[in-house]
Structure formats: structure tokens, C-alpha cells
Amino acid sequence: MYSLNYLTILFYMEYGPTFKPSLVIAIDFDGTIVEHRYPFIGRIRPFAFESMEALQVKGHRLILWSHRAGPKLDEAVKFCRTHGIEFYAVNKNYPEEIWDENDSRKILADIYIDDRNLGGLPSWGEIYNMICPEEEIIITKVKKSWWKGKNNLKMD
């Protein structure tokens, strides 16, 4: 039997120093992806979908981790799908998992993104930069015609 260190060295030799393993990221819906308006779907939080898409492009697996269930959960999944995000799993650790009431609903993830965390929810740009510090999201100011004289942020 090989030790973990030996296997790590073999893996490193095979894939090199540029390999970065993917993370499992559990993301809440209400208050995190959209503003909290449960049982309705609130307005999209700025850069939520752009950040989640960028994380998926980097190979990270996103799990929708929500208190919603039944038709309200289906509504949230469909909403995300129409905005370009297909989750690895929804309220499960992996897509094939079959949950019953004797199992814990706690999701096993490397990172949890939730508006109810200690200290509140950072902006999605900050979240992305915490997870992927090697890349910086460039934010520029643009004027919106419907919001006279005010500046909004836009991700390039």
C-alpha cells in the first residue's frame, strides 16, 4: 500500500505544478444568487451568474444548496438554467444520490456560499477573487440609459 505522500508525488510528476484540483462549491439561492424574496424569485444579485459561469469554466462543480423544495426548487433550478447555469447537483452531494429522511441534508463541499454566513455575503466579484486569486475580475463603470447620471458596475 502506498502512502498519501507517495501518491501525491506521483500525481505531481504526472500532471505537473500547474494542475489545480476542482472544488465543490455549494451555493444558496435566495439571498445569494438572487435577492431574498422567497417564495418568489428576487432580482439577480450583480455578477452572480457571470461569476458562477467563470467558476464552472475553471472546472469547479457547483451544487445548488437551498432550503427550497418541490415546485419552488424546480422553479429556482429552471431560473438558473435560463441564465446559463446548470448545476452539478441540486440539494445533493452528487447527481445520483438518493436522499431519504434518514440522511442528513448537509452537503459536503469545499466552499459554501450563503447570505447567512458570519460577516454577511461579500459581492460576487469578491467571492470569485477569493476562490480564484490568480485572476482578477476587471470592473468598469458604465452609464445605463434608464438610470440617468448614475454609474453601475459591469464585468468585462
Burial readout 96-111 (b: 16 or more C-beta within 10 A, e: otherwise): eeeeeeeeeeebebee
- The reported pLDDT for the residue numbered 48 is 96
- The reported pLDDT for the residue numbered 89 is 95
Write down all domains in the chain, each with its CATH number in brackets. 23-155 (3.40.50.1000)
Q: What is the pLDDT of residues 79-125, one digit of tens each?
A: 999 999 999 999 998 888 887 777 777 889 999 999 998 888 999 99
* Mean pLDDT of the region 60-70: 94
Surface-to-core class of residue 149, CB atoms within 10 Å of its CB (0-12 exposed, 13-18 middle, 19+ buried): exposed
Confidence of residue 29 (pLDDT cuts 50, 70, 90): very high
* Mean pLDDT of the region 65-91: 96
- For residue 13, pLDDT over 80 is answered with no
* Mean pLDDT of the region 44-64: 95
DSSP symbol at 90: E
* Mean pLDDT of the region 3-20: 55
Sheet with 61-64, strands from edge to edge, namely 89-90, 61-64, 24-27, 111-113
